[in-house]
C-alpha cells in the first residue's frame, strides 16, 4: 500500500485566529507530507506494504524506527486534522459527555488533564484522550510520533479519539515557546462532533 497526504477538510485559514494560516500550511504541506513520503520509502519492498496502517502500528515493535516514526506521524496527523474545525461543536453530548463526566467529573477537568499531559511531555510528542480495552476513557501522553495504538507502552495503549500535537512545529510561529497558550487555543477549534464519531467507532 502506498500512502498519500490527505486533503484538509477546510481551508488553511479556516482556524484563524487560533491556529494561524502559515503554520497550518507548513504543518500540512511540509511536515505531514514528509511523514508520508518517508513512510512509503520505509515500507517499500517489505511485508508492511500489504498491511493497513493501524495493523502496522499495533505491532510496531516488529518494525524499523523509520516505520515507527513516520507511520506514527502519518496516523497522528491524519487524526488531528479531522477533529479540527473552523465552526466546531464546542462541547460533547450524549454518551461521550456522560462518560467524560463519569470519568473526570467535568469537561473542564478533562481539559485540564489534557493540558497537563501536553505540558508534561518533555520535548516533542502528543496528548491523547483514548478509549481503553474495557471501554473506559483515559488521558495519556506519548513522545515523538508514538501513539496509543502502538505496542511499545502497555500503560498508554488504547484507541485514540482525540489527540493534540505538542511538537513545536504545531505552534511556534504564533505562540513561540508558549505551549500552554496553544493548548488553551486548541479547544476553540476542536470539533466535538468528530470526537464523538471517533468514540462510537472505538466502542464498536
Nearest Cα residue to 76 out of 14, 181, 148, 154 = 148
**Residue 165: φ, ψ to 5°:** -75, 120
Bridging pattern class, strands 137-143 and 159-165: unpaired
Put the strands of the sheet holding 125-131 in their side by side order.
Answer: 137-143, 125-131, 159-165
Q: Does 27 belong to an annotated binding site? A: yes
DSSP category for residue 190: B
Is position 169 annotated in a ligand binding site? yes
Per the annotation, does 32 bind a ligand? no
CA 177 vs CA 17, 21, 22, 31, 168: distances in Å: 18, 18, 17, 19, 8
Q: Judging by beta carbons within 10 Å of its beta carbon (0-12, 13-18, 19+), is residue 71 exposed, middle or buried?
A: buried
Residue written as grid cell 484522550 = 129
Give the separation between CA 180 and CA 91, rounded to whole angstroms.
20
Query: In this structure, what are the phi and psi dihedrals at residue 127, rounded to the nearest 5 degrees?
Result: -115, 140
Q: Known binder of ligand: residue 74?
A: no
Binding-site annotation, residues: 27, 77, 165, 169
Binding-site annotation, residues for Mn(2+): 27, 77, 165, 169
Amino acid at each position: 500500500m502506498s500512502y498519500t497526504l490527505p486533503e484538509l477538510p477546510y481551508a488553511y485559514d479556516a482556524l484563524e485566529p487560533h491556529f494561524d494560516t502559515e503554520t497550518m500550511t507548513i504543518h500540512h504541506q511540509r511536515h505531514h507530507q514528509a511523514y508520508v513520503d518517508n513512510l512509503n520509502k520505509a515500507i517499500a519492498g517489505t511485508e508492511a506494504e500489504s498491511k493497513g496502517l493501524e495493523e502496522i502500528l499495533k505491532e510496531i515493535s516488529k518494525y524499523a524506527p523509520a516505520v515507527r516514526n513516520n507511520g506514527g506521524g502519518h496516523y497522528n496527523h491524519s487524526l488531528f486534522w479531522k477533529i479540527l474545525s473552523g465552526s466546531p461543536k464546542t462541547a460533547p453530548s450524549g454518551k461521550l459527555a456522560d462518560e467524560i463526566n463519569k470519568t473526570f467529573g467535568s469537561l473542564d477537568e478533562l481539559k485540564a488533564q489534557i493540558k497537563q499531559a501536553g505540558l508534561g511531555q518533555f520535548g516533542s510528542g502528543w496528548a491523547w484522550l483514548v478509549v481503553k480495552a474495557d471501554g473506559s476513557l483515559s488521558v495519556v501522553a506519548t513522545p515523538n510520533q508514538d501513539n496509543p495504538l502502538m505496542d511499545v507502552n502497555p500503560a498508554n495503549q488504547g484507541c485514540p479519539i482525540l489527540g493534540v500535537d505538542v511538537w513545536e512545529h504545531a505552534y511556534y510561529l504564533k505562540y513561540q515557546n508558549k505551549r500552554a497558550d496553544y493548548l488553551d487555543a486548541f479547544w476553540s477549534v476542536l470539533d466535538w462532533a468528530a470526537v464523538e464519531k471517533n468514540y462510537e467507532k472505538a466502542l464498536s
